[in-house]
A = this chain, B = another copy of it.
Amino acid sequence: MINLEKKLRAAGLRPTKQRLLISNYLFSGSHMHVTADSLYSELSKSGVNISLATIYNVLNIFTSHGLLREISIDSSRSYFDTNTKKHYHYYYEKTAKLEDIDIEKLQINPLPEKRNGFDVSSIDIVIRVNG
C-alpha cells in the first residue's frame, strides 16, 4: 500500500485514509469499471465504511487528476474506469457491464484531430451488445 501513497502524491493528492482505502480497492488488481454506488457497496461489504459523499468526492478528484476516466454510457449513472489509457468499450445491455477494447483492435479512418479549429479531446466509442 506504500506504492498507493506514492501514486496519490504523484497525482498531487494527499494520501488520506479514505483515498488509500479506495485506491487499494481500485488499483491493486486488474482494471475495473465502477459506479459510485457499486464502489460504495463493495467497500461496505468488506467492512470499509466511507460516506457516499466522500466516494463521489474521491471519484471526481481522481478523475480530474488523471487516475480515473469517466465514461458516459447511460444518462442514469456515471461509470469510472481505472484504465486511463486510450481505449474503447463494449457495453452489455442486460448486465450493464463494461469491457475494454484495446485501441489497436479497432481502427478508425481517418482519425480526427481537429474539427472547426478545435482540438479533439477524446474519442469515445461504445459498442452495445444485447447480452
Contacts and interface: CB of A to CB of B under 8 A. Distances in A.
A37 interface: no
Interface of A: 70, 72-78, 90, 92-93, 99, 106-110, 112, 114-131
24 contacts: A70-B75, A72-B72, A72-B74, A72-B126, A75-B76, A90-B115, A99-B115, A106-B108, A106-B109, A106-B110, A107-B108, A112-B127, A114-B129, A115-B129, A115-B131, A117-B131, A118-B129, A119-B130, A121-B129, A122-B128, A123-B125, A124-B124, A124-B125, A125-B125
Please give the count of copies of this chain that the complex contains: 2
Contacts of A116: 129, 131
